[in-house]
Amino acid sequence: MRISKIILILLIIQLLNINFINAQITSPKSDYTDTTKYNNVDLLGVDSIFVFYSPQKNGWPVSGSLTAKLDKIKKLDYIWKKFNSTTYKFDIDIKTELGVDSSIVNDLESGGYHVQITNGTTIDTSFVAWLYINHLKVEIEYVSTCENLELSGISGGFPFSYYDLLDSKKITINNGLKIEWSSDPEMTFNPNLEHVYTRPSYENEQFFVTVKDSFNCVKKNSIYILAIAVKPDFKALPDSSGEAPYNVQFENNSLNSELFHWVFFNDEYNIKNENDSLIDISDSEIPIDSIFYKQPGEYNVKLVVEGPAYYEQGVEKRCIDSLTKEKYINIDTSYIGEIPNVFTPNGDGTNDYFKIKTEEIVSIKTFEMFIISRWGRKVYQYKYSYKDCYNKSDYNKWEGWNGKINGDGGEASPGLYFYIINARGWNDKNFTKKGQLYLFKEKK
Domains 137-225 and 335-439 share a fold: yes
Contact predicate 417/373, CB 8 Å: yes
Cβ pair 359, 419 in contact under 8 A: no
**Residue 401: DSSP 8-state:** B
> According to DSSP H, which parts of 23-154 are helical?
41-44
3-state secondary structure string, 43-68?
A: HHCCCEEEEEEECCCCCCCCCEEEEE
Q: What is the CATH number of domain 234-332?
A: 2.60.40
According to DSSP, residue 405 is labeled G
* Residue range 335-439, CATH number: 2.60.40
Q: Which of 325, 317, 307 is nearest to 233 (CA)?
A: 325
Task: Parse the chain into domains and list their residue ranges.
Answer: 22-135, 137-225, 234-332, 335-439
Peptide bond between residue 238 and the one before it cis (omega within 30 degrees of 0) = yes
pLDDT in tens, the chain (444 residues): 332 332 333 333 333 343 444 458 999 999 999 999 999 999 999 999 999 999 998 889 999 999 999 988 999 999 999 999 999 999 999 999 999 999 999 999 999 999 999 999 999 999 999 999 999 999 999 999 999 899 999 999 999 999 999 999 999 999 999 999 999 998 888 877 888 888 888 999 999 999 999 999 999 999 999 999 999 999 999 999 987 778 899 999 999 999 999 999 998 877 777 678 899 999 999 998 889 888 888 999 999 999 999 998 899 999 999 999 999 999 888 888 899 999 999 888 899 999 998 888 888 888 899 999 999 999 999 998 876 544 566 777 889 999 999 999 999 999 999 999 999 887 778 889 999 999 998 655
Q: How many beta carbons lie within 10 A of that of residue 216, not counting itself?
A: 11
Neighbours of 314 (CB within 10 A): 5
What pLDDT is recorded for position 3? Answer: 29
Q: For 412, which DSSP code?
A: P
Contacts of 123 by beta carbon, 8 Å cutoff, 6+ apart: 16, 70, 73, 76, 117
Radius of gyration of the chain, Cα coordinates, nearest whole angstrom: 47
In this prediction, residue 274 carries a pLDDT of: 65
DSSP secondary structure letter of residue 267: P
Its CATH class, for the domain covering 137-225, is mainly beta
**Strands of the 196-198 sheet, one edge to the other:** 137-144, 149-155, 196-198
Asked if the 22-135 domain carries CATH number 2.60.40.10, the reply is: yes
In 177-240 the beta strands, taken as DSSP E runs, fall at 177-184, 196-198, 205-213, 218-225, 234-237
pLDDT of residue 21: 41
What type of residue is 382?
Answer: Y
Q: How many CB atoms lie within 10 A of CB 72?
A: 10
Contact by Cβ (8 Å): 213, 156: yes
Residue 434: beta bridge partners? 420
What local confidence, expressed as pLDDT, does residue 244 receive? Answer: 78
